[in-house]
Amino acid sequence: MTPSLDPVLPGAILAGGVLAAAASLWLLLPNGPDRTATRRLGTLLGLLALGAFIVTGRRLGGFGEEAVFLIVSLVAVVAAAATIVSRSPVYAAIWFALSLCGVAGVLLVLGAQFLGVATIVVYAGAILVMFLFVLMLAQPAGLAPYDRVSNEPFLSALAGAVLLGVLSLSIGRLSAAPAACCGLPSRAQAGADAAAAAATPPAAGAADPLAENHVARLGGELFGRHLVAVEAAGVLLLVALIGAIAVVARGEDVHASMADDAGRAVR
């Protein structure tokens, strides 16, 4: 059982998947009048890309684990794609909320109990609601013209494809032995050492997130080792709050002129 699989075929499939993903994004991004054929082709390509990624994914051992991970990650990814592709910004916000749920699921699968829930609470509960408020304040009725066009969709999709390709390549080349630089008490390392010594899975260390009392120990870690950072984050929140109020309090005229380049002085 070797950690790395036969590289050639999965590599090709992965590359094809990346390209297909890029092409589907290019087709699906709003770019002028909607054409059903384009949308269908884009959706098809997107599904193909997803399939390629699924096929080249690593096996996790049990069927249950694989199924759960697959479902939550699919939700996250598909909803994310829909976010950026939707023409209506409100729809995009809703899709984003769904993507957040998927991400929370992924985090929970990874054992980050606190963070999974915190994602929902903070992002979907607070940040997303703020976005919706702004949309309701500022969004014109119907689709604005600028929602129906994209800025350089081809080049952007290409950039995304390149990035995803490089990342996938790097991820595929990961090996079990961690880098010799960091000296972290890695469970993988400990696992590798222990596997070399005995075939039994090692016990989780005290600092392991997967151990019990996850939240308590996370809290202990936060307020123990990272106390100063936590306090700084609190100050940051306060400053952001004050800053936001200060900027708003200057008072802007809603009926100001629409022109932004008539040489008007900054007020």
Partner 1 sequence: MQDLSPATLLVLVPLLPLIGAILTVLLGGRLGGRAHLPAMAGIAGAAVVAILLLAATARDVSPAHGPRAEPIRPVEMIATLWNWASFDDAYTPPPGSPAAAVRSVADATAGRAGGDVRGFSIPVSLRLDPLTATMLTIITSVGLLVAIYSTGYMHGDPGYPRFFALVAMFVFSMSMLVAASNFLLVYVFWEAVGACSYLLIGFWFTKPEAARAAKKAFLVNRVGDFGLAIGVFLLWMTYGTLDFHDTISPQGVIMPGILGQTRLADAAGYAGGAVGTAICLLLLLAACGKSAQLPLHVWLPDAMEGPTPASALIHAATMVTAGIYLVARSAPLFAACPGALTLVSIVGATTALVAALIGTVQNDLKRVLAYSTISQLGYMFASLGTGTLLGFTAAIFHLLTHACFKALLFLGAGSVMHSMGGVIDMRRFGGLRRVMPVTAATFLVGALALAGVAPFAGFFSKDEILAALHAKGWPSAHGEHHAVVATEGPLRLASFATGASFATGAAAHDAVGLDTLDRPETWRLLFWMSLATAGLTAFYTFRAVFMTFTGPTRVPSGAHGHGEHGHESYESPAPMTLPLIVLAVASAAVGWLLFATNWLSHFLSATPSLTAAAVASTAVPHAFHLDLAIQGTLAAAIGIVVAAIGHLGRRSDGPQMERFLGPLQTLFANKFYFDQIYTALVVRPLEALSLVAALVDRHVIDGAVDAIAHVPVAVGGIIRRGQSGLMQRYALAGVMGVLTIVVLLAWQLRG
Partner 2 sequence: MNPVQSLAMLQNALTVGAILFSLGLVGILTRRNLIVMFLAAEMMLQGISVSLVAWSRHHGDWGGHVLVIFVLTVAACEAAVALVFVLQAFSRTGRLDAAAWQSLREATVGRTVDRELPAAGAAPPPFPTLTRAGVQPPGGEHAPLEREHV
Q: Are 38 and 27 in contact (CB under 8 A)?
A: yes
Q: Which is nearer to partner 2, 8 or 173 (CB)?
A: 173
Structure tokens at 107: 């985090």
Residue 188 CB contacts under 8 Å (≥ 6 apart), including other chains: 176, 178
Asked whether the beta carbons of 120 and 101 are under 8 A apart, the reply is: yes
Alpha carbons 189 and 86: distance in angstroms, whole number: 44
145: helix, coil or strand? helix
What's the closest the beta carbon of residue 206 comes to partner 2, in angstroms?
A: 10
Which is closer to partner 1, CB of 178 or CB of 191?
178
Instruction: Report if residue 248 touches partner 2, rule: CB under 8 A.
Output: yes
Cβ closer to partner 1: 47 or 163? 163
Residue 218 binds to partner 2 (criterion: CB under 8 A): yes
Cα–Cα distance measured from residue 149 to residue 21, given in angstroms and rounded to the nearest whole number = 20
Looking at residues 167 to 196 of the shown chain, list those that interact with partner 1 (rule: CB under 8 A). Answer: 169-170
Assess 144 for contact with partner 1 (CB under 8 A): no
Q: Does 151 bind partner 1 (CB under 8 A)?
A: yes
Return the number of the residue (212 or 261) whose C-beta is nearest partner 1: 261
Our finding on whether 38 is near partner 1 (CB under 8 A) is: no
For partner 1, the closer of residues 162 and 233 by Cβ is 162
Q: What does the alpha-carbon distance between residue 201 and residue 188 come to, in Å, rounded to a whole number? A: 11
Q: Please tell me whether residue 188 binds partner 2 under the rule CB under 8 A.
A: yes
Q: Alpha-carbon distance 115 to 86, whole Å?
A: 28
Tell me how far, at minimum, the Cβ of 26 lies from partner 2, in Å.
9
Q: How far apart are CA 30 and CA 108, in angstroms?
A: 34
Q: Where does this chain bind partner 1 (CB under 8 A)?
A: 151-152, 155-156, 159, 162-163, 166, 169-170
